[in-house]
């Protein structure tokens, strides 16, 4: 194990190096660019023996790794915001072809207006494309999750692509100590990919070609079954990872001080760190509150959530995006998962940190106060400021 001071982006780069990615496709976009720049350094220096493909767009970047994965290669690419949206068509192709691609996504606001701050709208817009989605809290978690994502994506019970996301600038450009595992340790945890259902040059094979309605539904069902197996496989992958490197990130929905809690807040990404400190502060003053981190969003960890909900009456969900539904996207998923639960807590949706706004301790305290007050469950825009904003509609 080697301790390095790394940004979240460089943590992605080192993970791709340790995973021995064989094909990397690259197209720049703020704030992702330094990931593929660092990987280019690794390839140029001979540290990573990979084919590094510079392309003309994010759409092409994903097409390159889909094609390489179809030939049996282990692949990596990265993007952000508008770049991820440009990939939309091919996100479906990747999951439909069961390509075990791993992609780093730096969560950034979607234009217009142009904004490069942290916001989950980019990945939430792609939540139904058949990709596994992880949301990381720290740079250490970024590196470890990329390695776990390869094991998960390539597992014979899964074979689906995975996104490992990190909040723009809070992680992508902020440095902190990261323990980088020894390559030999990673090699034992992550052996070479075993190709399955791949194209073989010179042989008459095909992937992703036409099928009629009599069979199409079966393919979709198989993807659904594979996605449903992810939480169980993740448990095994995390157990083996902890055995290899001595670290665990708590599975799909790690919890903090939820025993006897009157109210629990569910967070994603870096807002979790702030919320955890507020939980400690409120606990010290006698308020019974707890925290759960939604680390795995796709597939949604329904069973884990229902277990958490058995002992709590009020749940708040913090979303760093708004998707024009009845609540924030994560809050909507939480409500749906609890609909048939024997004990169904009230769910309150909090929209905070959108477009890069800080999720402050004061805001988190107000969220807990709202939950503890017994106020009716509703949607709260926590940091809305109209003053000084030019209105273009109405």
- Give the residue extent of every domain in the chain: 2-245, 255-381
And the tokens for 193? Answer: 């990919």
User: Which whole-number Å values give the CA distances from 127 to 12, 18, 130, 186, in the listed order?
Assistant: 21, 27, 7, 29
**342 or 291, higher pLDDT:** 291
The mean pLDDT value for 130-147 works out to: 98
Residue 385 pLDDT: 63
Residue 382 pLDDT: 81
Residue 321 pLDDT: 96
What does the angle CA 265 – CA 268 – CA 270 come to, to the nearest 5 degrees?
Answer: 110
Are residues 353 and 328 in contact, defined by beta-carbon separation less than 8 angstroms?
no
Over pLDDT 70: what percentage of the chain? 97
Which residues, 6 or more positions from 196, have their beta carbon under 8 angstroms from its beta carbon?
156, 159
Domain 2-245 has CATH 3.40.50.970: yes
Residue 388 pLDDT: 45
Residue 393 pLDDT: 41
Residue 9 pLDDT: 98
Are residues 189 and 242 in contact, defined by beta-carbon separation less than 8 angstroms?
no
263 SS3 class: strand
Fold agreement (2-245, 255-381): yes
Q: The domain 255-381 is classified under which CATH number: 3.10.310.40, 3.40.50.920, 3.10.129.10, 3.40.50.150? A: 3.40.50.920
Residue 204 pLDDT: 86
And the tokens for 369? Answer: 């106060």
For tokens 């805001």, the residue is: 363
Residue 375 pLDDT: 84
Pairing state between β 379-381 and 346-351: parallel
| Complete DSSP assignment for 31-92 | TTHHHHHHHHHHHHHTSS--EEEE-SSHHHHHHHHHHHHHTT--EEEEEEHHHHHHTHHHHH
pLDDT above 50: residue 116? yes
Q: To the nearest whole number, what is the mean pLDDT of the chain? A: 95
Pairing state between β 346-351 and 314-319: parallel
192: DSSP letter:
P
The mean pLDDT value for 303-328 works out to: 94
Residue 391 pLDDT: 40
Range in 98-107, 125-134, 175-184, 302-311 the model is least confident about: 302-311
Taking phi over 0 as left and psi of -120 to 50 as alpha, with beta for the rest, 22 belongs to alpha
Query: How confident is the model over 21-37, as pLDDT tens digits?
Result: 999 999 999 999 999 99
Residue 392 pLDDT: 43
Query: How confident is the model over 204-250, as pLDDT tens digits?
Result: 888 888 899 999 999 999 999 999 999 999 999 999 999 999 999 99
């Amino acid at each position: 194990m080697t301790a390095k001071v790394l940004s979240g982006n460089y943590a992605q780069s080192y993970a791709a190096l340790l995973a021995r990615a064989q094909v990397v496709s690259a197209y720049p976009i703020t704030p992702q660019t330094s990931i593929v720049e660092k990987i280019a350094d690794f390839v140029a220096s001979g540290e990573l023996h990979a084919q590094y493909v510079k392309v003309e767009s994010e759409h092409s970047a994903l097409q390159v790794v889909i094609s390489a994965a179809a030939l049996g290669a282990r692949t990596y690419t990265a993007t952000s915001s508008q770049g991820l949206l440009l990939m939309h068509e091919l996100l479906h192709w990747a999951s439909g072809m069961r390509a075990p691609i791993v992609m780093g996504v730096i969560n950034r606001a979607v234009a217009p207006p142009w904004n490069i701050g942290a916001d989950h709208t980019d990945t939430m817009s792609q939540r139904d494309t058949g990709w596994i989605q992880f949301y990381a809290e720290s740079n250490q978690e970024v590196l470890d999750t990329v390695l776990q994502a390869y094991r998960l994506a390539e597992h014979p019970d899964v074979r689906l692509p995975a996104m490992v996301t990190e909040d723009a600038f809070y992680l992508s450009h902020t440095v902190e100590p990261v323990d980088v595992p020894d390559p030999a340790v990673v090699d034992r945890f992550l052996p070479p990919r075993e190709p399955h259902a791949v194209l073989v040059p010179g042989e008459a094979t095909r992937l992703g070609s036409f099928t009629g309605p009599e069979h199409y539904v079966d393919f979709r069902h198989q993807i659904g079954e594979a996605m449903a197996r992810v939480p169980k496989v993740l448990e095994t992958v995390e157990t083996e990872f902890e055995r290899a490197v001595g670290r665990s990130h708590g599975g799909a929905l790690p919890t903090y001080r939820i025993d006897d809690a009157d109210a629990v807040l569910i967070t994603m990404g870096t807002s979790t760190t702030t919320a955890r400190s507020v939980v400690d502060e409120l606990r010290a003053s006698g308020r019974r509150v707890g925290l759960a981190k939604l680390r795995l969003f796709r597939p949604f960890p329904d069973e884990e959530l229902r277990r958490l909900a058995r002992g709590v009456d009020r749940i708040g969900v913090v979303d760093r995006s708004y998707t024009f539904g009845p609540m924030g996207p994560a809050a909507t998923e939480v409500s749906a998962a609890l609909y048939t639960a024997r004990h169904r807590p009230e769910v309150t949706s909090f929209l905070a940190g959108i477009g890069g706004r800080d999720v402050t301790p004061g805001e988190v305290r107000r969220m807990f106060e709202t939950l503890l007050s017994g106020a009716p469950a509703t949607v709260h825009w926590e940091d809305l400021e109209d003053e000084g904003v030019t209105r273009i509609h109405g």
